[in-house]
Amino acid sequence: MAHSKQIKSVLIVGGGSAGWLTAGILAATHRHEIEITLVESANIAIIGVGEGTWPTMRQTLEKIGIAEGEFIQKCDASFKQGSEFINWGCAQSHSYYHPFSLPVGFEQGIDMVTPWLDVKDKVDFAHAVSAQAYWCDENKAPRLPSDMQFAGKANYGYHLNADKFAKLLKEHCTERLDVKLVVDDVCEVLADSEGDILAVKTTEHGQLVADLFIDCTGSKSLLLGEHFGIPWLSQKHVLKNDSAVAAQVSHSEAHANIASCTKSTAQPFGWIWDIALPTRRGIGYTFACDYCDFEEAKQQLANYITEQGLAAPALDSIREIKFNPGFREKFWHNNCVAIGMSAGFLEPLEASALVMIELSAQYLSENFPKTRCMMNVVANRFNAKFSYRWQRIIDFLKLHYVLSNREDTLYWQTMRAEHIPQSLQELLLLWQYQPPKHGDLDYIDEVFSPASYQYVLYGMGFSPAQYQRASANVITQQEINTLFKQVTQNAKRGLGTLPTNRDLLTNIAKFGISTI
């Protein structure tokens, strides 16, 4: 009888970006069918030290009804067009882009890698196939002031203040999407006779009963981890970074340039992220504590900040963060699903944390179980899909290290050579003989598409065996030259018309963004 029970209420335990994004995505579609409540503690700080999003965030914001101008102004946000990787190779001057826009011809299945290899000494891969690389060189914005909200001349995401983002989501969900908020501490999890969660007991509000519980309690994982005991599958043997130090640093001047990409600069024992917002830069160093302690990491971070011409903070004011890279053995057990860090976290590289929250909440919204019986089916499918996704993210992140030729520390030697997943080894062998393309990966909705693999492979100097022109979609050399020329023409046009990130954000602060 219990299995035919209708699912009419959801309790999200934990706020932050994970809890409130999940609440917003669910409520945008289901608020007239189910009651959505979020309980969060007043005593838990948000971990975010400056976040990067994927372009998917534009669709998410539009779906839940937050205007782009409001988001930018209230979250101290800036535009992000991809990532720049600096010093990941031996040469100190080495850098490359992983832009958000697809390589020219990629959607049509045209191989631009093979003809690029003939001219790779003259132009790097990203600049050969994407105008966006040129725009990032000049800190350009991806859109004009006259463009409609969430639209632009190139694919883009955002950089944002994570604390302000969570506050905006909370305000929007409670005031416009009918999400009920309970501010309290959860002190106990109560189960029914069949093992499902019946309710969570709070300090001041007593028992909060629901049909479905969503664990957004971060690495503590009060429900899935502590209550149900679902194991955490550590991936530290593959991705050794397990620590970070972070600081918020003022710009050198009020109108300093705002970079259009996340800057990821390799260090002796990890790498530094550098995220520019309108009012400050969020800078942090993620590293492996097996090779470096917090004090050494803080000093290396301070050195980087000073090299950027910024005032380095006192070492004792720099935040220390510990994490265990990995994910849960399963993410949905009985009537409880984990989203956010309670489900998994690897490292900040390529900003996969927020997008996995978006993907998880979106999947739940699109496949929301109507009954307890249906929940079992959805849970099995959810577990299979997200286990696959975490594994593929590991492959993609590990790729960055495997391709590095840095020899300066044991850290880099080990990251490059040890515990390479078999799936990644097979792809690297395949790509010795053909460029990454549609069909090389299992699903059309991969977290990282073959285009992303192309940017990293050839940005890092991957040297394939002799590629041969594919028989399918063969185009002439003249047509290939036309596509390459199209990139440079588009780049030149954008450089002449697009404002800088700083100038566009100043314009938005004054005039907003058109929503008509």
The DSSP 8-state label assigned to residue 373 in this structure reads H
Residue 440 makes CB contacts below 8 A (sequence gap 6+) with 427, 430, 431, 450, 453
Decide: helix, strand or coil at residue 503: helix
Residue 417 makes CB contacts below 8 A (sequence gap 6+) with none
d(CA 7, CA 64): 22
| CA-wise closest residue to 100 among 80, 124, 116, 71 | 80
C-alpha torsion angle, residues 346, 348, 352, 353 (rounded to 10): 80
Residue 67 makes CB contacts below 8 A (sequence gap 6+) with 61, 149, 513, 515
Residues in the chain: 516
| CA-wise closest residue to 213 among 366, 335, 372, 34 | 335
Structure tokens at 293: 């302690």
Alpha helices (runs of H) in 145-207, residue ranges in sequence order: 162-176
* Beta strand spans in 41-88 (E): 51-52, 78-80, 82-86
| CA-wise closest residue to 271 among 281, 290, 285, 288 | 285
Q: Which residue of the set 80, 153, 170, 330 is catalytic?
A: 80
**Residue 5 annotated as catalytic:** no
Q: What is the DSSP string of 384-442?
A: HHHHHHHHHHHHHHHHHHHT----SSHHHHHHHHS---HHHHHHHHHTTTS---TTSSS
Decide: helix, strand or coil at residue 244: strand
Structure tokens at 65: 């009804």
Beta bridge partners of 251: none
State the SS3 of 59-70: HHHHHHCCCHHH
| Active site amino acids | 80
